[in-house]
Amino acid sequence: MTQTPALQTVAREASLQASRRIDWRFLLPTPDLGRVACIGVTDADLLESLELFSTALKLADSARGEDLDASYDTVVLRNPPREVIEAGSRLLRPGGWLYLEVESSNSSNAPGAPRSIRGCARELRRFGLVDVSTYAHWPDFASCRAIVPLDEVSAVRHGLARGSTNGGWLLTRLAPVLAATRQLGLFVPCASAIGRRPEQGEKTP
């Protein structure tokens, strides 16, 4: 059945919106997500986007992902406690990437859970991942206008100014100072971290 121009336009716009929800994939060496595993992800928009842009999507049936094998190209976590970060790290194939999101209003209150995106990044390193970096998503994940490296002051200043809204004026002004003192991750409402499982035989720091 041939779609009308109007339906084609709606389909293109829906696909574009879905792709924007996972613009973070361009932080990886290749935006091709491959086989994706999710633990603790309930965000419907994120799951829909992953379904569209992965070769296969698997949702863990338990909080620890014990029913999944360690062969995934990409693992996605959202507001994860420490044990979920550990489980996600184990699911990656050598060379695979883990991506996690943290919303400050929904961060885990579980005992021992990381309190900030920097805490999550430390856990990724502790569980053996390399090339770990952290980002602010501005103003939020769903309507993101800028993804900014938290450790680069000039990028923070430029990125948050480009994606600023009236409601975020104060944080936008203070962001460079907070970034310079490595405190920005405690205040941004939406942040992410990525890390890579080393290749077999790869020398790591």
Instruction: Name the domain count of the chain.
Output: 1
SS (H, E, C) the chain: CCCCHHHHHHHHHHHHHHHHHCHHHHHCCCCCCCEEEEECCCCHHHHHHHHHHCCEEEECCCCCCCCCCCCEEEEEEECCCHHHHHHHHHCEEEEEEEEEEEEHHHCCCCCCCCCCHHHHHHHHHHCCCEEEEEEEEECCCCCCCEEEECCCHHHHHHHHHHCCCHHHHHHHHHHHHHHHCCCHHHCCCEEEEEEECCCCCCCCC
Q: Is residue 2 part of a domain?
A: no
Task: Note whether residue 44 is domain-resident.
Answer: yes
Is 29 domain-assigned? yes
In a domain, 202, yes or no: no
Query: Could you tell me if residue 182 is inside a domain?
Result: no
The reply to whether 60 falls in a domain is: yes
What is the pLDDT tens value at each position of the chain, 205 positions in all?
555 654 444 445 555 567 889 999 999 999 999 999 999 888 999 999 999 999 999 998 666 566 678 899 999 999 998 999 999 999 999 999 999 999 875 555 555 567 688 899 999 999 999 999 999 888 889 888 888 888 765 555 555 555 454 445 445 554 554 554 455 545 578 899 999 999 988 877 7
pLDDT at 167: 46
Residue 158 lies in a domain: no
Parent domain of 58: 12-144+189-196
22 domain-assigned: yes
Please give the pLDDT value at position 42. Answer: 87
Using a cut of 0.85, tell me whether the model's pTM lies above it: no
Q: What's the confidence (pLDDT) of residue 13? A: 54
Give the CATH number of the domain where residue 107 resides: 3.40.50.150
